[in-house]
A = this chain, B = another copy of it.
Amino acid sequence: MTVGQDPTAAVLIIGNEILSGRTQDVNLNAIARGLGAVGIPVREARVVPDTRSAIVEALNILRAQHTYVFTTGGIGPTHDDITVDAVAAAFGVPAIENPAARAVLVDHYGADRLTPARLRMARTPQGAELVANPVSAAPGIKIGNVFILAGVPDVMRAMLDGIIPTLRPGPAIYSKTVSAYIAESVIAEGLGAIAARFAQLDIGSYPWVRDGRFGTALVARGTDEQAVAKAAEEIMELVLAMGAEITSSAA
């Protein structure tokens, strides 16, 4: 990425269990919120199976297009944890036993309980740095602009919390949401006119159902704080002018 451009991010979710429906992913949402809070928008996410070629191909595309890439999953001690090898292959470097990672594991398990399976978690692509894991010791990994994080949500979030202060922040992203018992189709025309007037913002319309009643969340989002506030005001006026009940209005 060209330095000086606003930073962007992509997320690569690795795991058969997500694609089979066995596991509901919640990591994309946590990463999107965490990065959004420091002005780094997630622009794309992909979910791929535990297959080396799929990981390599997706990662090489995403890391070329974004300032940061976050992978989740596949860094445990079992045979199906192949993320480290795949990322190493993507970078064209060998996967090695990382002395710093080994030291972390020795410290956690004790040298006498460092089984071959646990030692698998000391492997990193050559040239990588470690990402602290305050929950369960086995570290995450940083190589180039790629952060390799755990798949277990508690562990992933703890790693992410440590990483975020080290990232280059982007311009703050502001957001205001007006929720109302109003059908999208009723407000569409007026909302479209507001969106056209605030072309620098992302004006979104998200229908919901609550106890059988239909409503819509109307969101103004962007880096221009004043414009976000003004657009939200106009959205509220529009909703009220249509005689609809506002259920919430929040940042």
Contacts and interface: CB of A to CB of B under 8 A. Distances in A.
Contacts of A103: none
Contacts of A28: 18, 21, 25, 47
**Per DSSP, are chain A's interface residues mostly helix, strand or loop, or mixed?**
mixed
A79 B46 contact: no
Interface string A1-29: 00000000000000011111111111011
A47 B49 contact: no
A66 B42 CA distance: 26
Contacts of A26: 24
A219 interface: yes
Contacts of A203: 79-80
Contacts of A117: 184-186, 188-189
A52 interface: no
Contacts of A116: 189
Contacts of A31: 21
B152 A209 contact: yes
Interface of A: 16-26, 28-33, 36, 41-50, 54, 76-80, 115-118, 120-121, 136, 152, 154, 175, 177, 184-189, 191-192, 195-196, 202-209, 214, 219, 221
User: Sorted from nearest, which 8 A-B pairs have the closest CB atoms?
Assistant: A21-B32, A117-B188, A21-B33, A79-B192, A45-B47, A78-B205, A77-B185, A77-B188
